Structure 1
Amino acid sequence: MRVLIAGATGVLGRSLLPLLRARGHHVTAMVREPAGAPSADLTVVADALDRDAVRAALLVARPDVVVHQLSALTDRGPLGFEVTARLRTEGTANLLTAAREAGARRIVAQSIAFGTAPVGDPVLTEDAPLYLDAPDEDWARTVQAIAELERLVVGTEGISDVALRYGTLYGPGTWYARDGAIGALVAAGKMRLPETAGGITSFVHVEDAAQAAVLAVESDATGTFNVTDDDPAEGSAWLPEFAAQLGGPTPRTIPADLAGRLLGWFTAYQLTELRGASNDRARLSLDWKPSRPSWRGGMVDDER
């Protein structure tokens, strides 16, 4: 098949592109800047927020499947939550419009598994409500953008659709890499652990996430799927273990009521309130399972 990856230079795009080519697909990399573009069968240059440029790129590529991996997040942290939100809303709309005109039959889009509201069971399915009214402005904007992305993608007339809700990514090039935004803080002993850290994180290795995207490209299944490992973990479990894997000091404990001020809203929320995500639907419908079923013992081993 002819597959176009929008966001081919990102952490997932870089992992996904060679997997698709190895399986015999003709892969087009859509990039914003030609410098540093990955090796692909075809490269097209377009800013996803430029509707005309996206249309021109897809008319050249004529993909059967469009894979949406756009974000403005890097291994060092966010370049801008607002830009990423626009990529997930305006960028998604531009891709869908161009995909229809170019004759694409399927779209696979990147979403997140940790946007659910902190209510109900400790581990939630794809049917749980999203945290649209989060008290933090940046997180509310992020979740609202994800909701709009999924609204645009899922149920798109004339194009079969998949939204992959990735768990918290770890592995090379992610925030949790040894030199990533979170990994560097933890290794330096600068991350604190609230005394009550029952928030649950569902991780997934970046290579497992890319493999799920390959299966979604080749599958006929449609809908929304959590792509996470089999071991949702409370903050009190994963943060000390991650520090040990990095060779860093055991995180110091802080009072729970100071977590937001000392750690920032989202990190405090992740460690104290976040819900995990079930991967049952992806296992059943996409025939996917993580090659790394647990983050324990292996979050940074492959980087040594």
Structure 2
Amino acid sequence: MRVLLAGATGVIGRELLPLLRKAGHHVTALARGSARDVDADAVVAADLLDAPGLAAAVAAARPEVVVHQVTALRPASGDTRWEVFERTAHVRRVGTANLVDAARAAGARRIVAQSIAFATTPSGDPVLGEDAPLFVDAPDATWAMTVQAVAELERLVLAADDLAPIVLRYGSLYGQYTLYDASGAIGQAVHLGRLPLVGDGAGLTSFLHVRDAALAAASAVEHAATGVFNIVDDEPAPAHAWLPGYAELLGAPEPKRVPVDLGERLLGWYGAFQQTRQRGASNAKARAEFGWRPTVPSWQDGVCQALSEVSR
């Protein structure tokens, strides 16, 4: 099939592109700027926020399937945290609308889009399915903006019935080039003993190895399933387990314990929320209806594997 991969140079895109080509698909990589090092069948340059330019680029690719893996989370020099998340929210809202329109105009028959599995309201069971409400009214302005943009992305994609839409809600990504890489922002904070354990540490994180995210997206290109699917590992992990465990694997100091109010001051609202109130996500629907299951079922196995790969 002819596949257009938007976000080919991102954390998931760079894992996904070779999988698609190995499966025999003709892959056109869509990049905002120069992408000479991308090993695709073709490369087109366009910005998701430039509707006319995007439409022309997608039309030139003549895709049967459009894969949306675009964010804007890579900070530019001088960016504040708010600016980074505001830009990504804008891409999720406006850029997604433009990409859906361009895919339809180009005659595509399927769209695959990424979302996040940790945007649910912290109520009900500890581990939630896809029908749980999103936390659009979060008390933190940055997180509320992020979740509202995620909700709009999903609405835009799922409303495109003619494109057989599927939304993949990824868990917290770890592996090469992610925040949880040993050289990533969180990996470095843990290594230096600068990521404390907040409160009771009962908040759950559903992790996902970046390679499993790419495998799910590659499967979605060929599968007939539509709708929303949590793409997460099998073992949602409380902060009081994964944070000390990760520190031990890194040979880092044991995380200091701090109360919630101090945790919010040190890590921001979301950092404290993740460790204390966040719910996990279930992959049961993806297993039953989509036929996907993680090759790395536990963050512990995956982090050990990732660290051994780095050390080689």
The TM-score, its normalising length taken from structure 2, stands at: 0.95
Count of paired positions: 304
Give the helix-richer structure, 1 or 2: 2
1:303 is matched with which residue?
Answer: 310
Determine helix, strand or coil for the equivalent of 1:28.
strand
Give the distance between the partners of 1:277 and 1:219, measured in 2 at CA.
22
Determine helix, strand or coil for the equivalent of 1:173.
coil
Q: How far did 1:158 drift? A: 1.4
Could you tell me which runs of 5 or more consecutive residues in structure 2 were left unpaired when the two chains were aligned.
Answer: none
Q: Is the 8 A contact 1:75 1:174 kept in 2?
A: no
Q: How far did 1:286 drift? A: 1.6
User: Cα RMSD over matched residues?
Assistant: 1.5
2:68 is matched with which residue?
Answer: 68
Q: Is the 8 A contact 2:190 2:252 kept in 1?
A: yes
1:278 equivalent to 2:282? Answer yes
1:134 equivalent to 2:138? Answer yes
Q: How far did 1:195 drift? A: 3.3
Could you tell me which runs of 5 or more consecutive residues in structure 1 were left unpaired when the two chains were aligned.
Answer: none
Residues 179-231 of structure 1 show CA distances to partners (whole Å, capped at 9, x for unaligned) of 11111101110001123111000000000000000111100000000000001
Give the distance between the partners of 2:295 and 2:94, measured in 1 at CA.
34
Q: How far did 1:297 drift? A: 4.1
Of 154, 157, 160, the match for 1:156: 160
1:227 is matched with which residue?
Answer: 231
Q: Structure 2 counterpart of 1:157, which letter?
A: D
Determine helix, strand or coil for the equivalent of 2:220.
helix
Q: Is the 8 A contact 1:230 1:293 kept in 2?
A: yes
Q: How far did 1:285 drift? A: 1.6
Give the distance between the partners of 1:178 and 1:262, measured in 2 at CA.
21
Q: Is the 8 A contact 1:75 1:180 kept in 2?
A: no
Of 103, 119, 127, the match for 1:99: 103
Of 117, 129, 147, the match for 1:143: 147
1:34 equivalent to 2:41? Answer no
Q: Is the 8 A contact 2:109 2:164 kept in 1?
A: yes
Q: Structure 2 counterpart of 1:16, which letter?
A: L
Give the distance between the partners of 1:207 and 1:34, measured in 2 at CA.
25
1:106-255 superposed matches below 5 A? 106-255=110-259
Identity of aligned residues (%): 57
Q: How far did 1:141 drift? A: 0.5
1:10 is matched with which residue?
Answer: 10
Q: Which portions of structure 1, spanning 4 or more consecutive aligned residues, are displaced by more than 4 angstroms?
A: 75-79
Give the distance between the partners of 1:35 and 1:293, measured in 2 at CA.
33
2:19 is matched with which residue?
Answer: 19
